[in-house]
Structure 1
Amino acid sequence: MILNTGTRTDIPAFFHKWFLKRIDEGFVLSKNPYNNQIYKYNFNPKTVDCICFCSKNPKHLVKKLDNLSEYRQFWFVTITSYGKDIEVNVPNYKKVIKTFKILSENLGANAVAWRYDPIFITEKYDLDFHIDRFGDMASQLHEYTSDCTISFIDLYQKVLRNFPQGREVTTEERLVIGKNFAEIADEYGIQMKTCVEGTLLDQFGFDSSGCMTQQVLEKAIGNNLKVPKGKYKNRECNCLMGRDIGLYNTCMHGCKYCYANANMKLVKRNQKLHNPDSPLLIGEVKDGDVVKEVNEPSYIDTKQKLF
């Protein structure tokens, strides 16, 4: 089983105590955001093939890596350098880079990947800004990871509501970003990737197959996986999304471009309902709730191992 902690919220940044409690107790409950069905997933290291994290501030869990030593892991760390006008509660990128390096030193460069996203263009954050900052970050990160995934802002209705100055990145701008980022990445030996962005940037050597594909996870955990065809795939990419234990409208970073939060009032209301001792991320199991236990096997191919 592949467990995913990061497509709906940032568990390492804001719910690390809860997550470690779930590790200690050996299971977690996750509520489906679309129908309120509650699923129970075990944390048995023999059946959890990989725990996938995605975070803008992983430092709290990085301090507790010994608690996760039994588990294979893959980390996506998002590092941009927008100001507090955009990323309200995100630490300065220089601090996140330091944490990234510690992660890589402990888990290995194959288990830690860099995200530079979402990219948007404004008068303040123009093309030169992105190219300069990407180059600066690549120079510091290239010895600690082999991959970088970029994406461009998606203007969902909630994003437009919270970030009215946001606009689509034009094809011409995407080409400038792609060409310049690829040249910088080539200099530092970094493979550039996109996910659900089409194949426009493939001409510059980008890999557009996805950011969390089976091959990515296999490289991270050092094992081949025999995942049933179609398992975990619910997007226009080859990513294995896994069993997500996060919940929308819970991330306190307050990023203006966020697709996972409707508004911060709702986020703050949900934060008040968070109990670190509850098996649910938000709230408690109530009388009448039906919990479905998911007994999913390991997909590691024991006959083959990557070296």
Structure 2
Amino acid sequence: MTQNPHIILSASRRTDIPAFYTDWFMDRIKLGVFKTKNPYTKTIKAVEASKDTIHSIVFWSKNYDAFIKARAGEKLTRLGFNIYFNFTINSESSLLEPNIPPLNKRLEQLKELVCLFGPEKISWRFDPVCFYKTSDTGRVKNNLSNFPVIAKKASELGIQKCVTSFFDHYPKIKRRLKILSKINHPSVFFTDPAMDKKTQVIHRMEKLLAGTKVKLYLCCEKQVLSNFDTQTPDRQSAEIKSRVSANSCIDGNLLKTIFGGNPEFKRDYGQRSKQGCRCTKSIDVGLYDDHPCFHNCLFCYANPKIDTTLKTAIQ
């Protein structure tokens, strides 16, 4: 008799649970149930949370400090839960990511997670790659300055995955930037590089990772990936044989390889499959209304709280 696959929990694409809601998450684990809400239909569903129903928990965060201090990972492991970490570590930028800890603190967190759980259970995300102008200079800038430093540290710690994508121009972000310009915030204009430029950036990132065990993956960049091998790289990158491939940020096959068991394997077509998302089906326990994120990243697609706060500020 075939057993039903066990659930993969996502915590969370919608907010930063490890940074702001670790206590809430652990309380729900103690109660043995999560109440999820569909962000579109508002339908509420109860999800049993026990080691017998959950195959693994995939955490997403830019700041694991509260999670580490609460020893949440060790507690979950002792309870029999398998845990995996998506850790976004971008270059230091008070403009793009105003409420993120300094880079050295985030790298210390990465080391701590590796020591506690092993590098194979951690994916480093450098996401998104941004090109933008500010009103003070008008010159096109990017957020790649600290990529070599982060890559070196990740490699030393045994991390094997770097996941990246390019900034997506969502209408809500354009509206957010327009509001910011009215409250004495430096005007920011995100630009969308040509495909050749994106290809060159990926080649440069790959070159920086050459000689390490860190492999570069693309998240929801179907067009970039399809053009990657057909574009002519710059001369310095030509000697590198490309290893870049599409990523599954929640990957049932990878989770089975690491933990064994019987996870879900079906594709999650509720994500951006048309853009190349390859994620496995999961249940996200984050709630937009109840779990506002306070990082206030300018490029965030998932945080309605920042936009509501900004609208209030100019009224």
TM-score normalised per structure 1: 0.79
Work out whether 1:126 is the aligned partner of 2:155: no
TM superposition shift of 1:248: 2.7
TM superposition shift of 1:247: 2.0
Task: Work out whether residues 91 and 147 of structure 2, in 8 Å CA contact, stay in contact via their aligned partners in 1.
Answer: no
CA distance, structure 1, for counterparts of residue 265 and residue 95 of structure 2: 44
Using a 3 Å threshold, how does the CA distance of structure 1 residues 20 and 228 change in structure 2: closer, same or farther?
Answer: closer
Q: Which residue of 2 aligns with 1:18?
A: 24
CA distance, structure 2, for counterparts of residue 267 and residue 43 of structure 1: 33
- Opposite residue 55 of structure 1, the aligned amino acid is S
TM superposition shift of 1:268: 9.7
Q: Which residue of 2 aligns with 1:275?
A: none
Using a 3 Å threshold, how does the CA distance of structure 1 residues 268 and 67 change in structure 2: closer, same or farther?
Answer: farther
**2:278 counterpart (238, 247, 250):** 238
Q: Which residue of 2 aligns with 1:189?
A: 213
TM superposition shift of 1:27: 1.2
Q: Which residue of 2 aligns with 1:57?
A: 63
Task: Work out whether residues 268 and 279 of structure 2, in 8 Å CA contact, stay in contact via their aligned partners in 1.
Answer: no
TM superposition shift of 1:171: 1.4
Q: Which residue of 1 aligns with 2:299?
A: 257
Q: In the TM superposition, what are the counterparts of 1:83-232 in structure 2 within 5 Å?
A: 83-122=93-132, 126=141, 130=144, 132-142=145-155, 143-163=157-177, 165-198=189-222, 200-201=224-225, 202-203=228-229, 204-219=242-257, 221-223=258-260, 225=262, 227=264, 229-230=266-267
Q: Which residue of 2 aligns with 1:74?
A: 84
| SS of alignment partner, residue 207 of structure 2 | helix
Structure number with higher relative contact order (C-alpha < 8 Å, ≥ 6 residues apart): 1
Deviates more, 1:25-34 or 1:155-164: 155-164
TM superposition shift of 1:199: 5.3
CA distance, structure 1, for counterparts of residue 161 and residue 223 of structure 2: 17
| SS of alignment partner, residue 196 of structure 1 | coil
- Opposite residue 279 of structure 2, the aligned amino acid is C
- Opposite residue 212 of structure 1, the aligned amino acid is I
Task: Work out whether residues 213 and 240 of structure 1, in 8 Å CA contact, stay in contact via their aligned partners in 2.
Answer: yes
Using a 3 Å threshold, how does the CA distance of structure 1 residues 116 and 27 change in structure 2: closer, same or farther?
Answer: same
TM superposition shift of 1:169: 2.9
Aligned residues: 266
Task: Work out whether residues 109 and 144 of structure 1, in 8 Å CA contact, stay in contact via their aligned partners in 2.
Answer: yes
| SS of alignment partner, residue 296 of structure 2 | coil
Task: Work out whether residues 78 and 115 of structure 1, in 8 Å CA contact, stay in contact via their aligned partners in 2.
Answer: yes
CA distance, structure 2, for counterparts of residue 86 and residue 226 of structure 1: 36
TM superposition shift of 1:229: 4.0
Using a 3 Å threshold, how does the CA distance of structure 1 residues 14 and 267 change in structure 2: closer, same or farther?
Answer: farther
TM superposition shift of 1:170: 2.4
Instruction: Report percent identity of matched pairs.
Output: 27
CA distance, structure 2, for counterparts of residue 15 and residue 267 of structure 1: 20
TM superposition shift of 1:265: 5.6
- How big is each residue's C-alpha offset from its partner over 1:121-172, in whole Å with a ceiling of 9 and x where there is no partner? 1357735x61x42111111111231100001111111111223511223212
Task: Work out whether residues 23 and 43 of structure 1, in 8 Å CA contact, stay in contact via their aligned partners in 2.
Answer: yes
CA distance, structure 2, for counterparts of residue 55 and residue 254 of structure 1: 13
CA distance, structure 2, for counterparts of residue 34 and residue 233 of structure 1: 12
Q: Which residue of 2 aligns with 1:282?
A: none
- How big is each residue's C-alpha offset from its partner over 1:195-244, in whole Å with a ceiling of 9 and x where there is no partner? 1101534533211143322233234x331646364467643122114100
Task: Work out whether residues 81 and 92 of structure 1, in 8 Å CA contact, stay in contact via their aligned partners in 2.
Answer: no
Using a 3 Å threshold, how does the CA distance of structure 1 residues 268 and 40 change in structure 2: closer, same or farther?
Answer: farther
Q: Which residue of 2 aligns with 1:278?
A: none
TM-score normalised per structure 2: 0.77
Task: Work out whether residues 120 and 169 of structure 1, in 8 Å CA contact, stay in contact via their aligned partners in 2.
Answer: no
- Opposite residue 20 of structure 2, the aligned amino acid is F
CA distance, structure 1, for counterparts of residue 57 and residue 224 of structure 2: 31
List gaps (5 residues or longer) in structure 2: 1-6, 134-138, 178-187, 230-241
Task: Work out whether residues 193 and 208 of structure 1, in 8 Å CA contact, stay in contact via their aligned partners in 2.
Answer: yes
Q: Which residue of 1 aligns with 2:288?
A: 248
